[in-house]
Amino acid sequence: MNFYSLHKNAPKVSFKEAVINGIAPDGGLYFPEQIPQLPASFFDDIQDLSNLEIAYRALKPYVKEDIPEAILREILEEVLDFDFPLVPINENVSTLELFHGPTMAFKDVGARFMARSLGYFFKNSEEKVTVLVATSGDTGGAVANGFLGVAGVEVVILYPSGKVSDIQERQLTTLGQNITALQVNGTFDDCQRMVKRAFVDPGLQGKVQLTSANSINVARWLPQMLYYLFAYKHLKVKGKELVFSVPSGNFGNICAGMIAQRMGMPVRHFIASTNVNDTVPKYMQTAMYDPKPSTATISNAMDVGDPSNFIRIQHIYNDDFSQLKEHLSSYSFSDKETKEAIKILYAKAGYIADPHGAVGYLGLRKYQKKHPETYGIFLETAHPVKFMDVVSSTLNIPLSLPPQIEKIMHRKKVSIGISKYEELAKFLLK
Ligand SMILES: *Cc1c(COP(=O)(O)O)cnc(C)c1O
């Protein structure tokens, strides 16, 4: 499978090159040249397949020229060593819990898959690759954990000082080995600017091989399609059309779900649920794409004003607004509504949701008011304990720490403080 740049001004590349480059030389995102089809029998018999087998069949067509069968199976076995339960909320709604991985956010799957792919590509290489990533919270932890101890790969994470939660900071700064955390005296936007500048800095080119590990990277993006296939496998309700509500920030996750649909999975509709960062909900109303600087909310992993993967979504629907509208609805919710939803889910279903999942629930509820005949799944993208303060104060209950988190609470945080780009460049060159 080859991948082309959505800016159409760069050579087609293999999966391997697309992963190593991250973004195409013309600044475009990579997109697969074909969307492979899974046969109807795959979906008819999906209950009988293990998660591993589902993942293997779905991802093989994208990577088979670059990752041999046996290695792909090995990688997937390591990546998918936790559960993805579908928890019923009421007779027309379930939630798909994606937070049972090591950092308790759904990004673990993509980050681990990318880490192991890169590790395989650089296994016998003299060269080293440096993964450079800016995080507003969850990405950094998932990437750090996914890449820990992977030979040939150095990881440098930039995070804004004082603007991530204590648990999130511990997940980035307590691992050591090939992981370095740079604490930036500034905002997330400052971190992101420094990372972008490093990628085009002539002073680094030819000296450091850099790649990115956010959802623009195909190795982080594509494996997310597996969530939807796993949900479909667990679905017990038959005869109702299926809709997914996805709490969205950079729109990588929902876009991967749309790829699963294009591969043949029966889905009626997608709902992109956002917080007040409503660039896409606005676009779906007005057909005008007007990105804005992000606003801070209690669902901070979705505080994105210019979602990087939305261009891929438009491409899936041939850059045609009316086609897109048939497949996607998008709604935005305030922090106040999000807290109300956390209360309702707890009162009515005894379910403790995190703020991101709660936004997903709200989007689904809004859609189902008009389409009560559908069966809806909202994705629960993080464990509520990662947003302990908001969740426990909203519900007035204490939350206990799961073992993954407990384990890091007593480790020492280690990071290097930087304030300007020159300090990052100097660090990368040494
Ligand atoms: C990253 C993240 C999201 C947003 O996912 P996108 O793929 O960027 O749309 C939602 N919820 C949580 C908890 C996240 O960490």
Query: Which helix (DSSP H) or strand (DSSP E) does residue 422 occupy?
Result: helix 421-429
How many angstroms is it from 152 CA to the middle of ligand 1? 28
How many angstroms is it from 203 CA to the middle of ligand 1? 33
d(CA 114, CA 20): 10
Question: 109 in the Ramachandran plot: left (φ > 0), alpha (ψ -120 to 50) or beta?
Answer: alpha
Instruction: Give the single-character DSSP code of 206.
Output: T
Q: Does residue 329 line the site of ligand 1, with CB under 6 A? A: no
Q: Does residue 250 line the site of ligand 1, with CB under 6 A? A: yes
How many angstroms is it from 8 CA to the middle of ligand 1? 28
Cα distances from 191 to residues 213, 305, 386, in angstroms, run: 14, 15, 22
The minimum-distance atom of ligand 1 relative to the CA of 224 is 7
E strand segments, 135-252: 153-160, 179-184, 210-212, 242-247
d(CA 158, CA 180): 9
Three-state DSSP class for residue 398:
coil
Per-residue model confidence (pLDDT) at position 61: 98
Per-residue model confidence (pLDDT) at position 165: 83
d(CA 145, CA 41): 36
Q: Which of 302, 312, 359 to mutate to test the pocket of ligand 1 (most atoms within 8 A of CB)?
A: 302
The minimum-distance atom of ligand 1 relative to the CA of 304 is 8
Q: Does residue 404 line the site of ligand 1, with CB under 6 A? A: no
Q: Does residue 275 line the site of ligand 1, with CB under 6 A? A: no
Q: Does residue 356 line the site of ligand 1, with CB under 6 A? A: yes
Q: Does residue 136 line the site of ligand 1, with CB under 6 A? A: no
Q: Roughly how many angstroms between the first and final C-alpha of the chain, as a whole number?
A: 36
The minimum-distance atom of ligand 1 relative to the CA of 142 is 15
Residue nearest to atom 2 of ligand 1 (CA): 301
Per-residue model confidence (pLDDT) at position 127: 83
Q: Which domains does the chain have, with CATH numbers?
A: 2-71+107-219+411-429 (3.40.50.1100), 81-103+221-400 (3.40.50.1100)
Torsion sign, CA atoms 59, 64, 69, 73: negative
Q: Does residue 183 line the site of ligand 1, with CB under 6 A? A: no
d(CA 199, CA 192): 11
* Bridge pairing between strands 210-212 and 2-5: unpaired
Average pLDDT, 10 consecutive residues per value, the chain (430 residues): 96 96 90 97 95 98 97 97 96 96 93 94 86 88 92 93 88 94 90 87 91 89 97 87 96 97 97 97 96 89 90 97 98 98 98 98 98 97 93 94 87 95 95
Per-residue model confidence (pLDDT) at position 288: 95
Per-residue model confidence (pLDDT) at position 216: 87
Residue nearest to atom 11 of ligand 1 (CA): 381
d(CA 272, CA 246): 5
> What are the residue numbers of the active site?
107
CA angle, residues 155, 159, 162, in degrees to nearest 5: 145
Per-residue model confidence (pLDDT) at position 188: 81
How many angstroms is it from 142 CA to the middle of ligand 1? 12
User: What is the token pair recorded at 400?
Assistant: 């206990």
Per-residue model confidence (pLDDT) at position 155: 95
Per-residue model confidence (pLDDT) at position 108: 94
- Cross-strand pairs, 329: 271
Query: Which helix (DSSP H) or strand (DSSP E) does residue 76 occupy?
Result: helix 69-79
* Bridge pairing between strands 30-32 and 86-90: unpaired
d(CA 393, CA 183): 28
Per-residue model confidence (pLDDT) at position 215: 79
d(CA 46, CA 33): 26
Contact 66, 14 (CB under 8 A): yes
